[in-house]
């Protein structure tokens, strides 16, 4: 695909429906749906197709703090200040299962890339991992000494990264359940953290107005940005790995060019703090939410070339010294296919594996339907349990009545 001239990001749509501050946003795999959570205790699923009605899901008893679509896009997880996590089937029925995940506010939910497990983080200072189906508790990680704001799986599912009000970012090995490293460079609460699409580095946002990027292999600080004038509340990597978007309480969104190590754009759209931001799975769009109760959808434009091609374009990595002093030279990860180890690739030619698109689509559909089917079984099981509990209560009440009436 021929490269086109890059343009400034543009505001495509804005959604109004929440009755309080928007706290979280996430796109489905096919970008047809956008989910948002709010302090109004509701979850909204917006349709990107014009003139389509949104779904309003009610069930949480307090503010919805986090939301995440499963990799297939057929399930949707949400966490709340009511200490529960709900798994929804994002259709017109809006059915869900609910489980008491923590003993305090649930701040973060994130599906593993295989869709089989879910990681949650909470004000109870713990991170917990659950099986997606039947929501079985698997294990807990508990070395943070203050609220845990965010927890994410690495792209390969082997690592977990967490951000906390104890001013640290912690890296965990999922199989050993051990803390691999603690990053202590933030000068305040760490609000958000995520993995680079390559899985080789992480970016974290903080109440100290900064964004920091570390290499998870060497644990070196690669980049440090101090561009916002207030707390940075959220961030999201573009799927190419070249860009990072941030949302701040200074009401702006900022787009950073990670390969050049510079600020590309500052976007003014929200009236008041911008609380959340997320790229779509293709990077064509990103969505933001704010305390102004609005959800905004932006068209990226700045990376309009074919995204597969964008990943292959190699640019020299950057060393940021202007905002962080003398940082070590950045060995920024180059995503797969960007030209590293060319000789070894050429010396071992391999036949490309071609899977027909129809077969791929069919397999994705089957996986999605299995997700929905399993979740439906979980919903039915939960209803049966409730029915059994009600029957037991009725029988107990009847026995009490009989005892009272018996002379």
Give residue-wise pLDDT tens across range 348-384: 333 444 556 666 566 656 666 666 666 666 666 666 7
pLDDT given at position 359: 64
pLDDT given at position 129: 97
39 with 62: CB under 8 angstroms? no
Rounded mean pLDDT, 174-203: 97
Rounded mean pLDDT, 281-304: 93
Rounded mean pLDDT, 311-328: 36
**Residue 180 pLDDT > 80:** yes
**Rounded percentage of the chain residues whose pLDDT exceeds 70:** 74
pLDDT given at position 240: 95
Report residue 44 as tokens.
Answer: 């909204």
How many CA within 13 A on the CB side of residue 224?
15
**Host H or E run for residue 41:** none
- In the chain, where the domains are located: 11-301, 359-406
Residue 326's closest CA among 256, 243, 221, 244?
221
**Residue 306 pLDDT > 60:** no
Cα separation, 275 vs 253, in Å, equals: 10
Rounded mean pLDDT, 257-273: 96
**Residue 166 pLDDT > 90:** yes
Rounded mean pLDDT, 10-34: 96
Report residue 184 as tokens.
Answer: 């202590």
Return the higher-pLDDT residue of 255 and 346. Answer: 255
According to DSSP, residue 334 is labeled: P
**Residue 289 pLDDT > 70:** yes
According to DSSP, residue 301 is labeled: -
The pTM of the full predicted model, rounded to 2 decimals, is 0.78
Q: Is 269 helix (H, G, I), strand (E, B) or coil?
A: coil
Domain 11-301 has CATH 2.130.10.10: yes
């Amino acid at each position: 695909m021929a490269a086109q001239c890059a343009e400034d990001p543009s505001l495509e749509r804005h959604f109004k429906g929440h009755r309080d501050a928007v706290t979280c946003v996430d796109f489905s795999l096919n970008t047809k749906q956008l989910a948002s959570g709010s302090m109004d205790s509701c979850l909204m699923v917006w349709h990107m197709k014009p003139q389509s009605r949104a779904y309003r899901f009610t069930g949480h008893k307090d503010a919805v703090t986090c939301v995440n679509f499963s990799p297939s896009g057929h399930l949707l997880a949400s966490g709340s200040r009511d200490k529960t996590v709900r798994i929804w089937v994002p259709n017109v029925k809006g059915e869900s299962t609910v489980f008491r995940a923590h003993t305090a506010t649930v701040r973060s939910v994130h599906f593993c890339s295989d869709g089989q497990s879910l990681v949650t983080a909470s004000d109870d200072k713990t991170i917990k991992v659950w099986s997606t189906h039947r929501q079985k508790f698997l294990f807990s990680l508990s070395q943070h000494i203050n609220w845990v704001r965010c927890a994410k799986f690495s792209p390969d599912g082997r690592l977990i990264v967490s951000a906390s009000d104890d001013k640290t970012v912690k890296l965990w090995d999922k199989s050993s359940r051990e803390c691999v490293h603690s990053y202590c460079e933030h000068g305040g609460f760490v609000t958000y953290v995520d993995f680079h699409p390559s899985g080789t580095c992480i970016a974290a946002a903080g109440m100290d107005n900064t964004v920091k990027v570390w290499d998870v292999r060497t644990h070196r600080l690669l980049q440090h940005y101090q561009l916002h004038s207030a707390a940075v509340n959220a961030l999201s990597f573009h799927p190419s790995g070249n860009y990072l978007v941030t949302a701040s309480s200074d009401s702006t969104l900022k787009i950073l060019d990670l390969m050049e190590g510079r600020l590309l754009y500052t976007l003014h759209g929200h009236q008041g703090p911008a609380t959340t931001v997320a790229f779509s799975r293709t990077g064509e769009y990103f969505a933001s939410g704010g305390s102004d109760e609005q959800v905004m959808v932006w068209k990226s434009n700045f990376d309009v070339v074919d995204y597969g091609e964008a990943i292959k374009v190699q640019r020299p990595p950057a060393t940021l010294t202007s905002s962080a002093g003398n940082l070590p030279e950045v060995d920024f990860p180059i995503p797969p296919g960007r030209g590293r180890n060319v000789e070894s690739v050429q010396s071992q030619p391999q036949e490309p594996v071609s899977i027909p698109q129809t077969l791929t689509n069919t397999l994705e559909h089957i996986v999605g339907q299995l997700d929905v089917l399993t979740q439906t079984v979980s919903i039915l099981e939960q209803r049966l349990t409730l029915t059994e509990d009600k029957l037991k209560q009725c029988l107990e009440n009847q026995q009490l009545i009989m005892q009272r009436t018996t002379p």
